[in-house]
Amino acid sequence: MAMTPYLDVQNLSKSFGAQVLFRNLNFSIAEGQKVGLIARNGTGKSTLLSILVGKESRDSGDIIYRNGIRVGYLEQSPAFDPEDSVLDACFNHQGNPEQVLKAKQILTQLHIDDLNQPMGQLSGGQQKRVALANVLLTEPDMLILDEPTNHLDLVMIEWLESFLKRGSKTLLMVTHDRFFLDRICNLILELDNQTIYTYRGNYSYYLKRHQERIDNQRAEIARANNLYRKELEWMRRMPQARGHKAKFREDAFYELQAKARQSLCHLHAGDILRQLGHSGPLIQSRCHLGLHPLDP
């Protein structure tokens, strides 16, 4: 019998005004999986993590955690009370000597040595490291980390890699460190075209399969647009009075037109430019109006 996943996301959607970040996302994370979430900047990676931990609202959909699991979250820009000491900001140790010792050990690895220093005296990078230590110290069942390697030097990154590999930790993270993704993750989620694509391997595996997906998508779009051009010429030549067969073909044309519009406008502007040789602003404006770039 299959185990209940640690996290199950169903039909999750989020938009800001007219901008749709993602629509009807579906994915799950099982115990022990180490997942990298990747996407172009500004497409909703950090927003998605914030929604998963309840810090950001969602438009629709369900987020289901396995009963009883504890989730630790490292946000991209953590905030602290500037009057708190490093140790007090790190976690509620309640004077427990064992917890204090563990805090000292992890903070030392992250080059935070003065546990009595007020948080307001720390740089933004140092505060991010204290926040990372806080998440690791709580020993959650599942870690959700937003840019954990930011403000870490190579030695600290290697230590964090070793820490995360230890045992069967469950992890979902966003990072721009491709080498870190490659060494840590065994599953990649790509947020693209307002949906999620799943790659069951590390970052190197993702690169290969992602290119195959893009190549297949371009080939499909090229076929659709070649057929669209032919049918568009037929529509222009045919008289207004059409028989039953012509009407059937006309209906099929409009279905093809809708598909071509949708597929082409989902490509990145650079991909469209290379494929069709049109200017980016013209393409974007026509897509925004619901038109195909080849429409008259």
Query: For residue range 152-195, what is the model confidence (pLDDT) as tens digits?
Result: 999 999 999 999 998 889 999 999 999 999 999 999 999 988 88
Residue 100 pLDDT greater than 90, yes or no: no
Residue 72 pLDDT greater than 90, yes or no: yes
Taking the whole predicted model, whether its pTM rises above 0.95 is answered as no
Model pLDDT, residue 264: 53
Q: Place 245 in a pLDDT band, splitting at 50, 70 and 90.
A: low
Which of 161, 160, 184, 182 is CA-nearest to residue 172? 184
Tell me how crowded residue 60 is: count the other CB atoms within 10 A of its CB.
Answer: 11
Which of 10, 129, 121, 97 is CA-nearest to residue 58? 10
Residue 283 pLDDT greater than 50, yes or no: no
What crossing angle do the helices spanning 203-237 and 244-266 adopt, rounded to 10°?
150
Model pLDDT, residue 280: 43
Residue 26's Cβ-count burial label (10 Å; 0-12, 13-18, 19+) is middle
Q: If you average pLDDT over residues 234-239, what whole number do you get?
A: 66
Higher pLDDT, 198 or 280: 198
Q: If you average pLDDT over residues 233-240, what whole number do you get?
A: 65
Cβ(217)–Cβ(272) below 8 Å: no
Angle, CA 206 vertex, CA 203 and CA 212 arms, to 5°: 155
Model pLDDT, residue 196: 93
Model pLDDT, residue 286: 43
Residue 277 pLDDT greater than 70, yes or no: no
Residue 22 pLDDT greater than 60, yes or no: yes
3-state secondary structure the chain: CCCCCCEEEEEEEEEECCEEEEEEEEEEECCCCEEEEECCCCCCHHHHHHHHCCCCCCCEEEEEECCCCCEEEECCCCCCCCCCEHHHHHCCCCCCHHHHHHHHHHHHHCCCCCCCCEHHHCCHHHHHHHHHHHHHHCCCCEEEEECCCCCCCHHHHHHHHHHHHCCCCEEEEECCCHHHHHHHCCEEEEEECCEEEEECCCHHHHHHHHHHHHHHHHHHHHHHHHHHHHHHHHHHHCCCCCCHHHHHHHHHHHHHHHHHHHHHHHCCHHHHHHHHCCCHHHHHHHHHCCCCCCCC
Model pLDDT, residue 218: 75
C-alpha span between 188 and 155 (Å, rounded): 25
Residue 228 pLDDT greater than 90, yes or no: no
Higher pLDDT, 86 or 278: 86
